[in-house]
Amino acid sequence: MSDRVIIFDTTLRDGEQCPGASLTPTQKLEVARQLDRLNVDVIEGGFAIASPGDFEGIQLIARHVTRPILCSLARALPKDIEAASRALKGAKRRRIHTFVATSDVHMKHKLHKAEGEVVRLAVAAVKQARRYTDDVEFSPEDAARSRPEFLYRVLEAVIAAGARTVNIPDTVGFAIPVQFGELIAGIKANVPNIDQAVISVHCHNDLGLSTANSLAAVLNGARQVEVTINGIGERAGNASLEEVVMAIKTRPDLFGVTHGINTKELYKASRLVSKLTGFLVQPNKAIVGANAFAHESGIHQDGVLKFKKTYEIMRPEDVGFGASKLVLGKHSGRHAFGERLKALGFALSAAQFGAAFERFKRLADQKKEVFDQDLMAIVEDQLTDVPERYRLIYLHATSGTGVVPTATVRLQRGKETLEAAASGDGPVNACYKAIDRLLGFKGKLLDYTIQSVTSGQEALGEVAVRVQAKGRIEHGRGASTDIIEASAKAYLSAINRLLGQASRPRRPKVMA
């Protein structure tokens, strides 16, 4: 038995059958080229008779993508097989994939045919397809719900007729791994000529088991797996190419087989299919989701920083993802926080680091993710030797149409707590007046600017001010998801600098 698994990609056929995922022929060619870079073995380009667009897409791929086998689906009907052969005419390597249902429920309620007629149709279809290509694949549709004895009979007949691949579909995602693995083992044991064909599987994800079923089949002798990028397809989708491939790559001890996929192209393929179909990839999607290699838990981040294999069973670089992502959020610990600051070029003392980490934790409670720009804004204030004489501990501001803006401010000065309220032209002006009242002097605001540090509704706002008081001018900066709070912090920052400057001893003048 071969130890290499053939990867048959049906993104452009079954994947495109997903409602809303229709692709133009040009878009199909773009995906096919990426699948070629991915080094898939077989590309099922479409269902030639289904539409002029499918027919044209297969023809276009045949002209421009020559390395992989190009396949077209066809029902076990003469007109379907003729259409497939015409669409594939220009392909360097071509396959016709024909099918007919073999489960009792399909034969009775959809086909209205007896077993003997189904066998006759299957054999006739394979023989017709063999007139156009030696590479013919046959699928007994709904195989997972077919009676094993009848399934064995059909498979023996189509192999004798010339099928070189027999594909076992779990068409409605009904199987579970143990059962599906046993089905493949049963086929190997009970179809006399099975050694003349490759056993393939095509699993749907209705119970969320498509990848597990496909892998169970590989363990029991299947050597072709039919998959789609991002697992797109009918209803709940198909087995995901990236999941099947990386499971085989990550667990060679279990599977003992290889594949030819260039895994570094997986992420690009995922992004391209997502972009062209408009189907977003869920963040927690295995292998290619945005969070697939992201760590926020402090325990996990600490482990990854010490030795990546503590929490990563594969390298993000191996799927084209770049490096691991340590997401800084409320669950992050000091280790990850410190490593990120180092990467940003900050060197803080123990006291500065502690204060910055406290501010980071407070911000992380307000935001889902703290970005580099956020970190830069919240730690830069720690890189000064000016003591924080006054610290903002409470702020409440009201404003609106027809309402006089007011602000209540509470400051900490050593062990003393100070509180005052004031009204003003706006909430920021009211806040500054309340602070002036507490300080006992009036600061003159010379300049005020505000900008968004990061994007999105939870963006951190940064305020920069220049304040004049007691004959001196100093700048201040403050950051918060609340722009009034950021404004108050910036004003207090400038005031603290002014007071710190005033308390420093004057240098003696040096006479020339």
> Are 68 and 184 in a shared domain?
yes
181 CA to centre of own chain: 29
Angle at 439 between CA 433 and CA 443, to 5 degrees: 55
Q: What is the CATH number of the domain that holds 421?
A: 3.30.160.270
Residue 21: predicted pLDDT: 75
**377 in Cβ contact with 366 (< 8 Å):** no
Of the listed ranges 41-50, 227-236, 281-290, 291-300, the one predicted with least confidence: 291-300
Sign of the dihedral defined by the CA atoms of residues 453, 455, 460, 465, in that order: positive
Which amino acid, residue 327? V
Q: In whole numbers, what is the pLDDT of the chain averaged over residues?
A: 85
pLDDT value at 379 more than 80: no
- Which residue do the tokens 């292998």 mark? 287
The SS3 of residue 423 is strand
Last residue of a domain, one of 277, 308, 331: 277
H helix or E strand, kind and range, residue 106: helix 104-106
pLDDT on residue 325: 46
Contact (CB, 8 A) for 107 and 114 = yes
104/122 Cα distance (integer angstroms): 16
On the question of pLDDT at 499 being above 70, the answer is yes
Q: How far is CA 500 from the centre of its chain?
A: 49
Cβ atoms 123, 161 nearer than 8 A: yes
- Residue 241 belongs to some domain of the structure: yes
- Say yes or no: 67 and 160 in one domain: yes
Q: Residues 138-151: pLDDT tens digits?
A: 999 999 999 999 99
**Rounded distance between C-alpha atoms, residue 347 and residue 372, angstroms:** 15
Instruction: For tokens 């003997």, name the residue.
Output: 116
- Residue 342 has, within 13 A of its CA and on its CB side, a CA count of 6
**DSSP letters for 255-276:** H--B----GGGHHHHHHHHHHH
Domain count, the chain: 3
Q: Quick one: pLDDT at residue 427?
A: 93
Nearest to 339 by CA among 327, 351, 355, 321: 327
Separation in Å, CA 226 to CA 161, 199, 280, 285: 23, 11, 22, 19
pLDDT in tens, 216-254: 999 999 999 999 999 999 999 999 999 999 999 999 999
CATH value at residue 97: 3.20.20.70
Q: Count Cα neighbours of 358 within 13 Å in the Cβ-side half-sphere.
A: 8
Same domain for 133 and 174? Answer: yes
> pLDDT value at position 476?
76
| CA-derived radius of gyration, the chain | 33
**pLDDT tens digits for 312-328?**
556 777 777 655 444 55
Range of the domain at 367: 294-380
Q: Which two tokens stand for residue 100?
A: 């007919």
Higher pLDDT, 217 or 441: 217
pLDDT at 479: 77
- Same domain for 374 and 403: no
> Do residue 10 and residue 94 come from a single domain?
yes
Average pLDDT rounded to a whole number, residues 19-48: 92
Q: Which of 66-70, 127-131, 266-270 bottoms out in mean pLDDT, i.e. has the lowest?
A: 266-270
Asked, for residue 511, whether it belongs to a domain, the answer is no
b/e burial code for range 21-53 (CB count within 10 A of at least 16 → b): bebebebbbbbbebbbebebbbbbbbbbbbeee
What's the pLDDT score for residue 17?
Answer: 81
Interval 191-202: pLDDT, tens? 999 999 999 999
Give the pLDDT score at 370: 65
> What integer pLDDT is reported at residue 195 of this predicted model?
97
pLDDT of residue 317: 76
Q: What pLDDT does 389 receive?
A: 84
* Same domain membership, residue 267 and residue 307: no
Whether the pLDDT of residue 280 is over 90: the answer is no
Instruction: Specify if 289 maps to a domain.
Output: no
**98-136 per-residue burial string, b: 16 or more CB within 10 A, e: under 16:** bbbbbbeebbeeebebeeeebbebbbbbbebbbebbebb
Q: For residues 314 and 287, give the distance between their C-alpha atoms in angstroms, rounded to a whole number.
A: 9
Q: Mapped to the 3 state alphabet, what secondary structure does 146-211 carry? A: CCHHHHHHHHHHHHHHCCCEEEEEECCCCCCHHHHHHHHHHHHHHCCCHHHCEEEEEEECCCCCHH
Q: How confident is the model at residue 495 (pLDDT cuts 50, 70, 90)?
A: confident
In a domain, 422, yes or no: yes
Which of 222, 251, 277 is the last residue before a domain boundary? 277
Same domain assignment for residues 240 and 359: no
Chosen domain end from 277, 303, 318: 277
